[in-house]
Amino acid sequence: MTERGAVLLPPSPAAIARAGRLLRAGALVAFPTETVYGLGADATSAEALERLYAAKGRPAHNPLIVHLCDLEDARLVADFDDRALSLGAAFWPGPLTLVLPRRSDGPVSPRASAGLSSVAVRVPAHSVARRLIQAAGRPIAAPSANRSGSVSATTPQHVAETLGDRIALILAAGRCPLGVESTVVDLTRQPARLLRPGGLTREALEAAIGPLAVPSGAAEMAEDARAPRSPGQFSRHYAPSLPVRLNVTAAGPNEALLTFGPDALVRGGVERANLSPGASLDEAAANLYALLRLLDKPGRAGIAVVPIPESGLGAAINDRLRRASAPSGADGTTGRPPLDVTRGADHDRR
């Protein structure tokens, strides 16, 4: 037990079997994937999904990703066209989520889709996630294991800090290797749309199925805010408590500095963390959320971030940093509460 109440267990066969039983009984279980920790619930149970939305503080209109063991199981949940079949064959198991027409005769509760006619499906690569889905014997809905709108969790300790008092069990298997969430592609449209850059690069996807459309611009954001097609794409998201300022050349007064590559910019006295001293974007992605959490300390003026290259995983890193730096009220829901340094680690943002 932790002080916040969750049980943390290493992923032994007995612990995974126990987690599977808990999921079948409608409880919430956090588990590692190759991207970030997920907060899992039985995707076939509307009650379990309600519990999941409540624990995360997730708006009811933001749908969930359904995790499955393989492409064959995913085909019971969603309708796969040729593009979907070829993407699934090429990139699963792995950090790719496909948004597809939901099968009404499938096992998944419509609650996972939050009122949409589509459903998001993914086959994770992490062995613990795969063994857990098998042990549960049913599809698992799993958003990132953080309070809605705040920084995702890449270690079991991150999960315990913010959700520990709300979940039955955390399967604790160390750091997630990729560190940023899966890439989300909407295949319900032609051409396919890149809804969220992530662990699988756009370059790899486009080599497989040709050019992707990328939603952008104020008009589309406004349209999505009125009738969200991917509500998790609201601007403000993945955000620490402190304001985040991007593309800086130096930290301002009392700001912490998040750097990348050799620390030429840094002068003494500035609290700082380096995403990757060797300028590796893969290493930077793996470190991103842990370092944002590390620098997000009460009493600071904010977090300043140096420019990060846009290639490879840089696209996902910059996407998360842009959303973390979006102004108050840009999350399409209730906006950012006033900074309250007394609240400490409880990132209670909706």
Q: Is 33 in the site for ligand TXA (CB under 6 A)?
A: yes
Is residue 196 a contact point for ligand TXA (CB under 6 A)? yes
Task: Tell whether residue 144 is a contact of Mg ion (CB under 5 A).
Answer: yes
Q: How far apart are CA 62 and CA 66, in angstroms?
A: 13
Select the span of 15-23, 137-145, 276-284, 300-308 touching ligand TXA (CB under 6 A): 137-145
Residues 218-277 that bind ligand TXA (CB under 6 A): 229-233
End-to-end CA separation in angstroms for the chain: 27
**Residue closest to Mg ion, measured at CB:** 144
Rounded to a whole number of angstroms, the minimum distance from the CB of residue 48 to ligand TXA is: 15
Cα 281-90-323 angle, rounded to 5 deg: 40
Q: How far apart are CA 288 and CA 12, in angstroms?
A: 28
Determine the interface stretch with Mg ion among 71-79, 119-127, 139-147, 274-282 (rule: CB under 5 A): 139-147
| Residue 130 CB, nearest approach to ligand TXA (Å) | 12
At CA 235, angle to CA 65 and CA 103, rounded to 5? Answer: 25
* Cα angle 207, 63, 115; round to 5: 115
Minimum Å distance from CB 71 to ligand TXA?
Answer: 16
Report what 119 binds from Mg ion, ligand TXA, none; CB cut-off 5-8 Å by kind.
Answer: ligand TXA
Q: Which stretch binds ligand TXA (CB under 6 A): 72-80, 139-147, 202-210, 271-279?
A: 139-147
Q: Which residue among 118, 318, 325, 333 contacts ligand TXA (CB under 6 A)?
A: 118
Q: Footprint of Mg ion on this chain (CB under 5 A)?
A: 144
Q: Footprint of ligand TXA on this chain (CB under 6 A)?
A: 33, 35-36, 38, 62-65, 95, 97, 99, 113, 116, 118-120, 122, 124, 142-144, 181-182, 184, 195-196, 229-233
